[in-house]
Amino acid sequence: MNFGLFSTLSPTLSRQREREYSGYRDKNYSWRCIQTAPSPAGGRGRGRGWIASFLLYAASAALAQNAPVFTAEQAEAGRALYQRDCASCHGDNLDDGRFGLPLRGAAFRNRWAGHPLQELFALTRDSMPPAAPGSLSNGDYAALLAFLLQANAVEPGPSALPAEERQLFALNFPGVLIPQQQQLRTNTLGVAAGTALPAWPAAANPLDAITPVSDAMLANPAAADWLTWRRAQDGLGFSPLAQITPSNVATLKSAWSLALPPGPNLATPLVHDGVLFVHGYGDHVQALDAKTGDELWHYARRLPDSRAPSVKRNMALYGDKLYLATSDFHLIALDVKSGALVWDYAFEQAPGRWEMTGGPLVAKGKVMQGFAGQGAGGPYIVGLDAESGAEQWRFYTVARPGEPGGESWNGLPLEQRSGGSIWTAGTYDAELGLAFFGPGPTYDTEPLRKPLNQSGITNDALYTDATLALDPDNGQLVWHYQHLQNDQWDLDWAFERQVVNLPGTDGATHKYVITAGKPGIYDVLDAATGRYARSFDMGLQNFIVAIDPVTGVKTVNPELVPGDGRKVTVCPHAVGGRNWLPSAYDPQNGIVYVPAVESCMDMTPVEAGGRGFLSSGVRLSVIARPDSDGRYGRIQALDAQSGATLWTARQRAPQTTGVLATAGGVIFAGALDRRLSAYDAKDGALLWQSRLSDVPNSAPISYSVDGKQYIAMVVGYGGIQPVTFASLVPEIPLPVARSSSIFVFELP
């Protein structure tokens, strides 16, 4: 473990801590003095410098009263961890290492004297051990901290040092805080005494000129920007940039790349005014110069030991804030320019197993976020005030008894209803003022298998596998359409809703919502009313045998409904077909480009006493289609008006990313073999490929800076697609070490 980084604490991190924990330190006037006092060398005049120093000393004297307490046993546990992870750099004596700065003695004590222990704890967790930062438990980091305190002449006591950062903020490293300028003069920051560091010109920072994101921008972003996970609120995934064309795409080369926190990564970056925002595993967010990849700020969420990190699919920009869901079930807002925490909303959780892998949708001053999982009563979508984080409304995605749709749960009481997961962010149409979401099915399928045959009661299970049109102002349901009633296969219609303009039967252009579920059947709905218009089938499924041309109601083959103690083979597999990996829609030509995997599943009864993945008593196994030629990956181009397939590009490696379409006539998508590919939008011809360091699991984007077009792709093995379909292609090697990076490409 190398504590060389302990020589400094970045100003951004300090501001972030100040905002993140301000609610827990209202009585700590002294900390606010430390954060806001001018530097003796600052630009406010020398006359105030001594006042600042005096305040710093007075503040630290008050802080020193909150001395830390730890036990001898805790320090001894920390000693063992130190010998294992730290001594190789810092030495057995903590001050005799070849590479690490001393962790005992006057220099170390002066560096941390008077500072909240939370700072030292956070820096340790963020950066140590160097090969795997954050890999220890909070309790282990607290034990290491106890050992460092003991090594610096702090006596143990009767109670253990807490492992919760909010508690550590009230405790301080013993001693009087020394201003940073004096630390430099007295060699407490690791710089040789008397050294004057040469001046260096500051690099241009695009954050200095970044502008607030308005509703108008989200509805119609500048061509250079990528403002939502699908670029604009309509969810099309289409870039109007046209520098990269079929004639020059083969010359694409690396512009820059950057390693991200290791682990699975499903997140799509955002770009605004030359700043790229990217999410990393473990609840990290980085703001990068989109032209060079240089880091501008870094936010890291502190997760309790009881919460493991989870993947996230998207973030959202609005005003001067960046919004994201966290692994500990919060929705937070960060200051775009600094990464400082502005507000933090905690979701209420009923008993069950919940997760937040999808991200927020922002419109009309509301941040809308749903969550996923399985528990009594189902999840909900919340609408928060974008400025303050105050909750404005909730919409429950499992219909309540006595409310509209409440009669559709086969007579089950509320506590026995579940499902309605929100796996991906919604989309929005500013003209209609409607937000569109797609709740998933339930896994508790057994109580819904057979209808009660009672008047007024169905087993449709609203609002599972439905499109919901909500009013962002109040969360009221304006309309809904259920794509598949009583889903017994986990074949969700829970993915992106794209708002498109198409000719209607009257010859006039109308606004429609188009969306497909895992079966690969697209439904076309009137965006204003939810009225069914038509469907078209990608040819991936075998269990829906008819679709009513007026209502869109699907008729299923009763022989392929599982749960009667027999095995059934259903196409596609429950991971798709197509899944959350988003399609792209070209509004210039009316074509939707869809990533899919050709697969099927055996739904096999579990042994006696088992429950299975679905409560009807079946487990799922992936298999190839009966007519498979061993090519599973599929990009399919469909005419959104007629539903006709224009072309299909097929390959051995299963698709693992969404699709990017561009005005230059090139589309991009990635696959399990770690290749990012470019195709001709007209005929699907393969034009270019690049081998990446890890499996891509998100969606490529395009943006421009200073008039130059870029293509960006995040990688990081994980997610349900590559995990499920890797068994179909055993010869494709998967990464031995889990990693994550962002790759950016440009024309020469």
Q: Please compute the mean of the pLDDT values over residues 509-513 and round it to a whole number.
A: 97
pLDDT tens-digit series, residues 534-551 = 999 999 999 999 999 999
pLDDT at 8: 37
DSSP class of 163: S
pLDDT of residue 611: 76
The single residue listed with the structure tokens 């040092």 is: 161
**Mean confidence (pLDDT) of the chain:** 89
Neighbours of 389 (CB within 10 A): 18
List residues bridging with 270 in a β-sheet. 277
Residue 5 in tokens = 């980084």
What pLDDT score was predicted for residue 5?
A: 39
Query: What tens digit of pLDDT does each residue of 138-167 get?
Result: 999 999 999 999 999 999 999 999 988 878
| C-alpha to C-alpha distance for 547 and 148, rounded to whole angstroms | 69
Preceding amide of 572 cis, omega within 30: yes
Q: What's the Rg (C-alpha) of the chain?
A: 28
Label residues 139-175 b or e (16+ Cβ within 10 Å = b): ebbbbbbbbbbbbbebebeeebbbbebeebbbbbbbb
Q: How many residues does the chain have?
A: 748
Read off the pLDDT of each residue in 511-520 and give the average, rounded to a whole number: 98
Place 110 in a pLDDT band, splitting at 50, 70 and 90: confident
How much is the pLDDT for 717? 93
| pLDDT tens, residue by residue, 366-425 | 999 999 988 888 999 999 999 999 999 999 999 999 999 999 999 999 999 999 999 999
Check residue 208 and give left, alpha or beta (phi > 0: left; psi -120 to 50: alpha).
alpha
What is the model's pLDDT at position 405?
96
- Domains along the sequence of the chain with CATH: 3-185 (no CATH), 215-746 (2.140.10.10)
Question: Per the structure block, which two tokens stand in for 95?
Answer: 């001050």
Q: Please give the pLDDT value at position 693.
A: 97
pLDDT at res. 190: 58
- The letter for the amino acid at 375 is G
pLDDT the model gives residue 612 = 84
Q: How much is the average pLDDT of 661-671?
A: 98
What is the 8-class DSSP label of residue 213? B
Per-residue pLDDT, 192? 67
Q: Does the pLDDT value for residue 107 go beyond 60? A: yes
Q: CB neighbours (10 Å) of residue 220? A: 14
Select from 85, 226, 55, 98 the least CA-distant residue to 148: 85
Q: Which two tokens stand for residue 394?
A: 């909730």
Instruction: Give the Cα separation of 393 and 12 in Å (integer).
Output: 33
How much is the pLDDT for 359? 96
Instruction: Read off the pLDDT of residues 226-262 as tens digits, 9 standing for 90 and up.
Output: 999 999 999 999 999 999 999 999 999 999 999 999 9
Amino acid, res. 517: G
Dihedral angle sign, alpha carbons of residues 331, 332, 336, 339: negative
Residue the block writes with tokens 């905690």: 346
Confidence band of 183 (pLDDT split at 50, 70, 90):
low
Question: For the chain, what percent of residues have pLDDT higher than 70?
Answer: 89
- For residues 552-561, give the mean pLDDT: 98
Band the pLDDT of 15: cuts 50, 70, 90: very low
Per-residue confidence band for 62, with pLDDT thresholds at 50, 70 and 90: very low
Whether the predicted pLDDT of 28 surpasses 50: no
Give the pTM. 0.86
pLDDT, tens digit, for every residue of 432-474? 999 999 999 999 999 999 999 899 999 999 999 999 999 999 9
The least confident of 7-11, 115-119, 547-551, 613-617 is 7-11
Angstrom distance (rounded) from CA 425 to CA 511: 20
